Amino acid sequence: MNIQDQKHLNLQSDKSTGSLSNQDDDVTFIKESSVKNLLNWTDCVDAMESALVAISNTSQNSETEPFSSQTPRTFTFAGNKGVLLTMPGYASNYTLNSVTGSDKKHSTLSCKLVTSFSGNSQLNPAIPGILGTILLFNSDTGKLKAIVDGTEITAWRTAAVSVVATKYLYCDLSLKNLDGNMTGKELAIVGCGTQGRIHALAMLNYFPNVFIKVKLWNRSLNRAEKLKKELNALFPEIIIVIADSSILCVAGAD
Ligand SMILES: NC(=O)C1=CN([C@@H]2O[C@H](COP(=O)(O)OP(=O)(O)OC[C@H]3O[C@@H](n4cnc5c(N)ncnc54)[C@H](OP(=O)(O)O)[C@@H]3O)[C@@H](O)[C@H]2O)C=CC1
Ligand SMILES: O=C([O-])C1=[NH+]CCC1
């Protein structure tokens, strides 16, 4: 957000938290570096689990049960350079294990704005192709409460949903019906861009001591090598290898 925008919203900077707040209107801006400091996999997966429960309830107006309302996203094309997506959503009566007093019910009214510009990877320095901003509203009055950088949240959210799916569709089955052993597993990551990287981090952080080996494949080798280096530093006990093809990458993986 530039200086003019800050003045327009009458925002004041709090250098210690990296947030900007409007004392009159109580609008908070949370920038990307602050978002990165706040995110952790336990809370993020927990939030996605609650969101999926709310989404799966078809009731549109319960006083007590979780439910959600989501209209289809809109696509506004910027010629052939990229696209702006709007993603409004409302989730009601959901609980979060990560918040003290976990039976407390929360409601969130928000709209995420996402841009997708494929040329961003060619910039010097490169920036992510997919950028996000989240507007959070007071769900009783509709008044804007916060503007949150949504790029990192979007990346984490996507991987966290994969973790929820893995937890219920793979781990539960594996423990109950298959070998009952959640160690010695092999993880395959096909594509080492933003999503490949964050999926590797999500799986390895959320399921500690489960994986002994990670196989990576990416169309261009340098991105696979970069991720291998990062994972080696973070998880020295896990064997990280680069596969010669996507087929070899998934062969034998769990
Ligand atoms: N980033 C996000 O937060 C989210 C992304 N998504 C979706 O996930 C997908 C990946 O996005 P993201 O990770 O951000 O993108 P990135 O640009 O960071 O990564 C793209 C990946 O796809 C590979 N790739 C692209 N074209 C080809 C091709 N023709 N053949 C083989 N590999 C190819 C790239 O390889 P190379 O390195 O060689 O170019 C790279 O591994 C997209 O469909 C996106 O819409 C969905 C939700 C959120
Ligand atoms: O759902 C989402 O946030 C996105 N889908 C494609 C790019 C970002």
Write the pLDDT tens digit of every residue in 215-236. Answer: 999 999 999 999 999 999 999 9
Q: Where are the alpha helices (DSSP H) in the chain?
A: 3-8, 32-38, 41-56, 151-165, 172-176, 194-206, 221-234, 246-250
Ligand 1 binding residues, C-beta < 6 A: 121, 129-130, 154-155, 158, 191-196, 218-220, 223
Residue 136 counted as domain residue: yes
Q: Which of 181, 156, 193 is nearest to 46 (CA)?
A: 156
Ligand nearest to the CA of 190: 1
| Residue among 44, 76, 87, 149 whose CB has most ligand 2 atoms within 8 A, to mutate | 87
**Last residue in a domain, options 105, 120, 150:** 150
Residue 71's pLDDT is what?
Answer: 92
* Nearest-angstrom CA–CA distance, 94 and 117: 34
| Residue 97, CB-side half-sphere exposure with 13 Å CA sphere | 10
* AA identity, residue 167: K
How much is the pLDDT for 25?
67
For residue 16, the model assigns a pLDDT of 42
Ligand 2 pocket residue status of 116, Cβ below 6 Å:
yes
- Report pLDDT for 20: 46
Last residue of a domain, one of 113, 131, 150: 150
Give the pTM: 0.90
Read off the CATH number of the domain in which 213 is found. 3.40.50.720
pLDDT at position 208, please? 94
Regarding whether 146 and 72 lie in a shared domain, the answer is yes
Q: Are 85 and 115 in contact (CB under 8 A)?
A: yes
- Name the strands in the sheet holding 185-190, side by side, starting at the edge strand that comes first in the sequence: 185-190, 211-217, 239-242
Q: Give the pLDDT confidence score for residue 10 in this predicted structure.
A: 37
What pLDDT does residue 59 have?
80
Tell which residue, 3, 30, 25, 1, has the closest CA to residue 14. Answer: 30
Q: In this structure, is residue 99 part of a structural domain?
A: yes
- The answer on 176 and 236 residing in a single domain is yes
Residue-level pLDDT at 2: 35
**Torsion-angle region of residue 161: left (phi > 0), alpha (psi -120 to 50) or beta?**
alpha
* Domain extent at residue 67: 31-150
Point out the residues of the chain with pLDDT beneath 50: 1-22
Of all ligands present, the nearest one to the C-alpha of 89 is 2
Confirm whether 140 is domain-assigned.
yes
CB 116 within 8 A of CB 80: no
In 91-102, which positions are buried (b, 16+ CB within 10 angstroms) versus exposed (e)? bbbbbbeeeeee
E strand residue ranges, 51-96: 67-69, 74-78, 82-94
